[in-house]
């Protein structure tokens, strides 16, 4: 008797951890930079450089990369004019802008249960908070809180018995039944890099770039589409620069959105697969270069996107669930195995608005320059068939003013949100296994009056919720001859009165008779029986 098996690949979370740590340091302003008068704008990102593994613990080495745009006082006389377009007057005595950046390294030891030295660890990071304070004109304090979420996903290869070769010896006649098993089969699991190299030019009429004070490019949206033998990637880069003009000492700014696309090879990928892809920004470089006329007007963005790719296919297959012998004694080896399945996939879009009112002491608004919105999820819960996502969006808005010498002025605000969706087939325990990505694809800031702004944007959330289910799997069979005492006790024929919960399978197993034989002797066309029925059993 041969078990005909099918090989499948699935996965499960072997171990995971959560660690929130503070990062604090004081930084000195470089001698080449002017004194700091006021922080105008800032941003930070967490980058993991290396993960070392040991027995039940890992060491995560990384850095907080920060960038600061600040205001300083020049030592010249004052001129409060504001030029046309985006340019800010930096004539004698005006407040000027300067930029600085740097890194704060960290190394953390994290306990991971069941971790072995050969396991590959994925570490998700998040910058929960970053605040920059001025100690004096030459020294700043950076206080931040970061989150590290390492996990190990274990790949599992399983053999499923899908059929029995029951064509052998008549003395080994078996009866078996099958059941349907639905699961996610892992088709692709790999790490890869997407290299983005895009360029944009300053619009006609804008002055050439002399010196860049702030350069920033972020992925505002990204989409992944499984295709034949590859993963297609499309998205948008939001680019913002603040610079000094080449022919004057004025400050200007420029922002734009650059679409990008690319693909990475994924063997066995096909259209229609489920894509669960997470990403982190790796190396990033923004350079200003000359165009064909020798003018500094081209902004070149080079960045690498580190991809953690998992492509699944939803499978449904029939497997052998149970077996007994009709002309022999059978001992079935049954083992419980775990399989991953997809409960639900949600793509949520929610529109949000926020009125931002300036403080009385803030300079009045002349023109909006730039806005930056970063979404932070505080809580994700599933209760009573409903998914709730709550958090806030941190807003930073730069605007131009012609008061107090002119210049760029910052305003910050918080947009709280709470989103609810009905998911009746998902329980709270399954929240332990989900994949979630959040981004803000669209945002705009308008001026309501000289002291009030209105922000409008949308938040997009994609969530894949999995569950792990246990199934009894036939792993082996041992076949022996029926004991003579057992044969002697079997009746030549019998009338069996069906009890509540009985099935033809149970009756056949008890009397060593196939289900087909019972149905034939009792003229049954269906497997359904009910309590009180009389079933004829013939040896």
For the segment 110-151, what is each residue's pLDDT rounded down to a tens digit?
A: 999 988 878 889 999 999 999 999 999 999 999 999 999 999
Q: Give the model's pLDDT for residue 74.
A: 58
Q: Is the pLDDT of residue 406 over 90?
A: no
User: Strand, coil or helix: what is 299?
Assistant: strand
> 290-294, 449-453, 461-465, 484-488 — which is least confidently predicted?
484-488
Tokens of 436: 């979630």
For residue 79, pLDDT beyond 50: no
Question: Which of the pair, 96 or 191, is modelled with greater confidence?
Answer: 191
Q: Tokens 């949520």 identify what position?
A: 348
Between residues 427 and 212, which one has the greater pLDDT? 212
Q: How confident is the model at residue 171 (pLDDT cuts 50, 70, 90)?
A: low
Which of 66-75, 296-305, 389-398, 495-504 has the least mean pLDDT? Answer: 66-75
Q: How many helices (H) and strands (E) does the chain have?
A: 3, 21
Q: What pLDDT score does 480 carry?
A: 86
Strand partners, 337: 471
The first and second tokens of residue 250, run together, are 């004025």
Helix (H/G/I), strand (E/B), else coil: 508: helix
Q: Which CATH number applies to 488-539: 3.30.420.40, 3.30.470.10, 3.30.2130.10, 3.10.350.10?
A: 3.10.350.10
Encoded tokens for 44: 């930070």
- Least confident interval from 69-78, 308-317, 372-381, 412-421: 69-78
pLDDT for the residue numbered 332:
87
Q: Which of 437, 338, 306 is nearest to 13 (CA)?
A: 338
Residue 411: the pLDDT is 94
What pLDDT is recorded for position 83? Answer: 43
Position 237 scores a pLDDT of 93
Mean pLDDT of 487-492: 81
pLDDT tens by residue, 339-374: 888 888 999 999 999 999 999 889 999 999 999 999
Rounded to whole angstroms, the Cα distance separating 233 from 74 reads: 47
What is the separation, in whole angstroms, between the first and last Cα of the chain? 23
**Whether 161 contacts 8, CB under 8 Å:** no
Mean predicted confidence (pLDDT) in 272-284: 92
Confidence of residue 94 (pLDDT cuts 50, 70, 90): very low
Residue 12 banded pLDDT, cuts 50, 70, 90 = confident
- Among residues 306, 340, 16, the alpha carbon closest in space to that of 152 is found at 16
Q: Which of 455, 451, 450 is nearest to 413 (CA)?
A: 455
Quick one: what percent of the chain has pLDDT higher than 90? 62
pLDDT at 92 over 60: no
Give the residue-averaged pLDDT of 424-431: 74
Q: What angle do CA 524, 525, 526 make, to 5 degrees?
A: 95
Print burial letters for 85-111: b (CB count within 10 Å at least 16), e (below 16). Answer: ebbbbbbebbbbbbbbebebebeeebe
User: What is the spatial distance between Cα 164 and Cα 176, in angstroms, rounded to a whole number?
Assistant: 8
pLDDT at 176 over 70: yes
The answer for residues whose C-beta is within 8 angstroms of residue 34's C-beta and 6 or more apart is: 72, 96, 98
* Mean pLDDT (whole number) for 212-237: 94
Inter-CA distances, 229 with 173, 203, 224, 265, Å:
45, 39, 14, 6
* Dihedral sign from CA coordinates of 284, 237, 61, 26: positive
Per-residue pLDDT for 390 more than 90? yes
pLDDT at 86: 59
Average pLDDT, the chain: 88
pLDDT, mean of residues 304-309: 94
Q: What sign does the CA torsion over 67, 69, 70, 75 have? A: positive
430: pLDDT strictly greater than 70: no
Question: Is the CA virtual torsion 511, 517, 520, 524 positive or negative?
Answer: positive
Domain range annotation of the chain: 8-157, 169-327, 346-471, 488-539
User: What is the structure's pLDDT at 538?
Assistant: 85
Contact yes or no for 225/263 (Cβ under 8 A) = no
| Report for 230-239, 278-287, 339-348: range of highest mean pLDDT | 230-239
- Reported as a single tens digit per residue, the pLDDT across 23-76 is 999 999 999 999 999 999 999 999 999 999 988 999 999 999 999 999 987 533
Report the pLDDT value the prediction gives residue 91, as an integer from 0 to 100.
Answer: 39
Q: How far is CA 255 from CA 193, 329, 356, 372, 407, in A?
A: 26, 78, 21, 11, 17
Q: Tokens standing for 393?
A: 């969006």
Strands 251-265 and 296-325 come out as: unpaired
Answer yes or no: are the C-beta atoms of 342 and 314 closer than 8 Å.
yes
Q: Which residue has the tokens 């006021």?
A: 38
Is the model more confident about 468 or about 211?
211
- Interatomic CA distance for residues 408 and 401, integer angstroms: 7
């Amino acid at each position: 008797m041969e078990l005909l098996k099918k090989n499948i690949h699935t996965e499960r979370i072997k171990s995971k951890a959560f660690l929130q740590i503070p990062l604090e340091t004081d930084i000195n302003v470089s001698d080449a930079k002017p004194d700091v008068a006021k922080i105008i704008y800032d941003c930070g990102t967490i980058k993991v450089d290396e993960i070392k593994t040991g027995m039940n613990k890992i060491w995560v080495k990384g850095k907080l990369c920060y960038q600061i745009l600040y205001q300083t006082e020049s030592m010249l006389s004052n001129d409060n004019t504001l030029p046309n377009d985006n340019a800010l007057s930096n004539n004698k005595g005006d407040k000027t802008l300067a930029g600085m950046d740097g890194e704060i390294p960290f190394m953390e030891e994290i306990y991971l249960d069941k971790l072995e030295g050969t396991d590959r660890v994925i570490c998700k990071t998040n910058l929960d908070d970053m605040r920059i304070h001025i100690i004096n004109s030459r020294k700043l304090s950076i206080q931040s809180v970061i989150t590290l979420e390492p996990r190990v996903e274990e790949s599992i290869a399983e053999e499923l018995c899908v059929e029995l070769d029951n064509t052998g010896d008549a003395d080994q006649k078996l009866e078996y039944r099958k059941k349907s098993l639905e699961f996610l089969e892992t088709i692709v699991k790999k790490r890869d890099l997407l290299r983005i190299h895009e360029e944009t030019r300053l619009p006609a009429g804008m002055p050439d770039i002399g010196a860049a004070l702030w350069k920033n490019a972020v992925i505002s949206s990204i989409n992944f589409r499984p295709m034949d033998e590859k993963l297609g990637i499309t998205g948008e880069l939001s680019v913002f620069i603040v610079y000094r003009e080449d022919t004057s000492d004025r400050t200007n700014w420029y922002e734009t959105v650059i679409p990008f696309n690319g693909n990475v090879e994924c063997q066995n990928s096909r259209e229609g697969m489920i894509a669960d892809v997470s990403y982190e920004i790796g190396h990033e470089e923004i350079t200003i270069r000359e165009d064909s006329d020798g003018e500094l007007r081209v902004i070149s963005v080079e960045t690498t996107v580190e991809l953690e790719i998992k492509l699944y296919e939803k499978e449904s297959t029939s497997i052998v669930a149970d077996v007994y012998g009709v002309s022999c004694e059978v001992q079935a080896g049954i083992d419980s195995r775990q399989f991953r399945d997809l409960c639900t996939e949600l793509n949520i879009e929610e529109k949000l608005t926020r009125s931002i009112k300036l403080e009385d002491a803030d300079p009045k608004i002349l023109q909006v320059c730039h806005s930056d919105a970063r979404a932070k999820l505080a809580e994700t819960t599933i209760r009573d068939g409903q998914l709730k996502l709550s958090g806030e969006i941190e807003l930073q808005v730069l605007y131009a003013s012609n008061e107090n010498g002119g210049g760029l002025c910052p305003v910050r605000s918080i947009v709280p949100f709470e989103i609810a969706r009905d998911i009746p087939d998902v329980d709270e325990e399954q929240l332990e296994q989900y994949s979630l990505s959040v981004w803000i694809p669209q945002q705009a800031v308008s001026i309501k009056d000289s002291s009030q702004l209105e922000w409008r944007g949308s938040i997009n959330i994609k969530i894949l919720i999995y569950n792990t289910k246990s199934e009894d799997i036939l792993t082996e069979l041992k076949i022996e001859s029926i004991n003579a005492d057992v044969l002697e006790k079997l009746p030549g024929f019998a009338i069996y009165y069906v009890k509540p919960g009985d099935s033809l399978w149970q009756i056949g197993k008890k009397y060593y008779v196939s289900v087909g034989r019972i149905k034939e002797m009792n003229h049954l066309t269906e497997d359904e029986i009910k309590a009180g029925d009389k079933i004829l059993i013939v040896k």
